[in-house]
């Protein structure tokens, strides 16, 4: 009874974890790129394979989780899941210890975990899988199943179920890759009112405090001092003081959690640095063309997009990218590439707003059809 309940709980966790990433494989690949970046594992040559690795990870989670649920090849399934947990445990511990990836993406955009929460989650899962392995060890088939000529009828039924599950998951993943996620867990889903979100953020902002890393030039002692204490204590900055700020080692620490929303990163500027965000979210209608890798977009496609958006009479039209020379017949504005990726899962991408509310969003290739 206990082992059955534990097996069910763990299987559901892996299936859900795989599912929320399966609906948005591109979004998960952005997280994989973060792990491969120079600031984390310094493997930039693997960034171009991020999507492939994302698909492999999601497939393993989904199918191993489902195999655990239906008790198919239990010894192999548990062994593979234990190996998977050890691998991800290493990643999440590294992220937490060195504070390099703030969100592992374990449950996509559906549930956010801090680095340490992600690590302890992996530890708990690993312990649960080891317990299951011990509890089920007597049920493992000692004889190599692959050598059997006849597959038991009960197992045949399980394979049929696994096959049906596979087809459904492949369809969901394909929809997310070719179009938009079937289920949108992001803050930028259709119906989101950016103007209202901005107002909520302004009323309840998060508060941060800067901590300076000070080193005593005489003794070599190092202190972490918050900005208020630094100003109050003249011994840290007065003429002749042995204390000097260590460049590049200051930290910004969250001291009050405000209203949490990814919309806080929705900040658009013209090439001169003038912010146009308010103009966009207050416009009766705004059509925004996003591109996080503008140099990878063919000019022919840009021309087709511009022709389509320019036909939108009365709409405020902007081309939002990381390069102020991306678009030719619509006004170029700038936005951080990572922030654009939060909104756009394809390159380029169209977002339509009415009085600040998202009413349509789709890949450019679908928009111009």
Nearest to 68 by CA among 16, 119, 104: 16
Q: What is the pLDDT of residue 154?
A: 67
pTM recorded for the entire structure: 0.79
- Cβ count within 10 A of residue 219: 8
Count CB neighbours of 162 within 10 A.
15
Question: How far apart are alpha carbons 165 and 57 in whole angstroms?
Answer: 17
Sign of CA dihedral 21, 22, 24, 29: positive
Rounded-to-integer distance, Cα 10 and Cα 16, Å: 10
pLDDT, position 45: 86
Q: How confident is the model at residue 102, as a pLDDT? A: 67
Q: What is the pLDDT of residue 165?
A: 96
Dihedral sign for Cα 126, 132, 135, 141, please.
negative
pLDDT at 52: 94
Three-state DSSP state, 216? strand
- 10-residue block means of pLDDT along the chain (369 residues)? 91 95 93 84 87 95 96 93 93 81 66 83 95 89 49 77 96 93 91 95 89 90 89 87 85 84 93 94 96 94 95 94 94 94 94 97 92
Q: Which two tokens stand for residue 147?
A: 């050598």
252: CB partners within 8 A, 6+ apart: 208, 209, 210, 211
pLDDT score for 146: 47
CA-CA distance, 44 to 105, in Å (whole number)?
A: 19
The DSSP bridge pattern shows strands 286-291 and 357-363 to be unpaired
Q: Give phi and psi for 106, each to the nearest 5.
A: -55, -40
Task: Please give the backbone phi and psi of residue 292, each rounded to the nearest 5 degrees, phi first.
Answer: -90, -15
> What is the spatial distance between Cα 322 and Cα 295, in angstroms, rounded to a whole number?
10
C-alpha to C-alpha distance for 3 and 288, rounded to whole angstroms = 53
Say if residue 7 is exposed, middle or buried (CB neighbours under 10 Å; 0-12, 13-18, 19+): buried
118-152 burial: b if 16+ Cβ within 10 Å, else e: bbbbbeebbebbeebbeebeeeeeeeeeeeeeeee
């Amino acid at each position: 009874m206990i082992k059955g309940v534990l097996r069910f709980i763990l299987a559901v966790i892996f299936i859900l974890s795989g599912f929320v990433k399966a609906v948005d494989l591109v979004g998960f690949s952005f997280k994989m790129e973060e792990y491969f970046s120079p600031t984390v594992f310094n493997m930039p040559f693997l960034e171009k394979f991020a999507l492939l690795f994302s698909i492999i990870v999601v497939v393993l989670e989904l199918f191993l989780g489902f195999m655990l649920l239906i008790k198919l090849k239990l010894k192999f399934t548990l062994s593979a899941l234990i190996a998977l947990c050890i691998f991800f445990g290493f990643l999440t511990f590294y992220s937490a210890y060195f504070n390099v990836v703030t969100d592992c993406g374990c449950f996509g955009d559906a549930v956010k975990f801090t680095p340490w929460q992600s690590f302890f989650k992996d530890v708990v899962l690993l312990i649960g899988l080891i317990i299951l392995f011990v509890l089920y060890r007597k049920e493992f088939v000692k004889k190599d199943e692959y050598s059997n000529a006849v597959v038991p009828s009960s197992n045949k039924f399980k394979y049929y179920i696994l096959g049906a599950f596979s087809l459904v998951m492949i369809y969901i993943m394909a929809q997310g890759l070719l179009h938009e996620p079937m289920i949108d867990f992001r803050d930028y889903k259709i119906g989101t009112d950016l103007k209202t979100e901005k107002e909520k953020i302004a009323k309840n902002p998060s508060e941060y405090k800067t901590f300076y890393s000070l080193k005593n030039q005489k003794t070599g002692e190092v202190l972490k001092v918050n900005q208020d204490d630094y100003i109050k204590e003249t011994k840290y900055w007065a003429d002749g003081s042995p204390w000097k700020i260590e460049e590049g080692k200051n930290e910004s620490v969250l001291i009050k959690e405000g209203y949490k929303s990814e919309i806080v990163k929705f900040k658009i500027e013209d090439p001169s640095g003038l912010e146009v965000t308010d103009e966009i979210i207050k416009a009766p209608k705004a059509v925004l063309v996003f591109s996080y890798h503008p140099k990878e977009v063919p000019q022919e496609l840009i021309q087709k997009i511009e022709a389509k958006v320019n036909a939108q009479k009365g709409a405020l039209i902007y081309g939002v990218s990381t390069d102020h020379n991306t678009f030719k017949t619509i006004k170029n504005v700038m936005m951080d590439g990572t922030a654009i990726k939060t909104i756009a899962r394809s390159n380029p991408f169209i977002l339509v707003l009415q009085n600040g509310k998202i009413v349509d969003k789709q890949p450019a290739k679908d928009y111009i059809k």
